[in-house]
Amino acid sequence: MSPSDATKRSVPPVFIAKPVRVLREPIKRFPRRQFPQEAAEYNRRMSVEQMPLIRRGFQPAASKRPFESPHHASGEIQGLALSLGAHLVGFSPLREEWVYADRDFPGPYAVSLAMEMNAEEIRKAPGPEALIETLRVYHDLGWVIVKLAQELARMGYRAVPQHPFSRTHILQIPVAVDGGLGFLGRNGLLITETFGPRVRLGAVVTNLELHADAPRVPASAKFCMTCRACRDACPGGAIPDRPQPVNGVLKFKIDVDKCTPHFGSLLGCSVCIKACALNPGATNSGA
Residue 17 binding result from ligand B12, ligand SF4, none, given CB thresholds of 5 to 8 Å by partner type: ligand B12
Q: Are 184 and 251 in contact (CB under 8 A)?
A: yes
The residue count for binding ligand SF4 (CB under 6 A) is 25
Note whether 239 binds ligand SF4 by CB under 6 A.
Answer: yes
> Considering the rule CB under 6 A, would residue 271 count as an interface residue with ligand SF4?
yes
Report the run of H or E that residue 111 belongs to, with start and end.
Answer: strand 109-116
Q: Which stretch binds ligand B12 (CB under 6 A): 32-40, 69-77, 152-160, 189-197?
A: 189-197
Q: Give the one residue of 185, 198, 210, 267 binding ligand SF4; rule: CB under 6 A.
A: 185
Q: Which does 227 bind (CB under 5 to 8 A by kind): ligand SF4, ligand B12, none?
A: ligand SF4
Q: Is 19 in the site for ligand B12 (CB under 6 A)?
A: yes
- Sheet of 199-206: strand order equals 88-93, 109-116, 199-206, 159-162
Shortest Cβ distance from residue 171 to ligand SF4 (Å)?
17
Q: Which of 44, 182, 213 is nearest to 116 (CA)?
A: 182
- Angle, CA of 55, 82 and 195, to the nearest 5°: 100
Q: Does 277 bind ligand SF4 (CB under 6 A)?
A: yes
Q: Does 229 bind ligand SF4 (CB under 6 A)?
A: yes
Give SS3 for 203: strand
Is residue 27 a contact residue for ligand B12 (CB under 6 A)? yes
Contacts of 231 (CB under 8 A, 6+ apart): 186, 187, 239, 240, 241
Residue 14, CA distances (Å) to 98, 100, 101, 129, 189 in order: 8, 10, 9, 36, 19
* 110 lies in the site for ligand SF4, by CB under 6 A: no
Task: Measure the CA angle with vertex 150, ends 149 and 152; round to 5°.
Answer: 65
Residue 45 binding result from ligand B12, ligand SF4, none, given CB thresholds of 5 to 8 Å by partner type: none
Q: Which is nearer to ligand SF4, 73 or 227 (CB)?
A: 227
Among 99, 170, 205, 272, binds ligand SF4 (CB under 6 A): 272
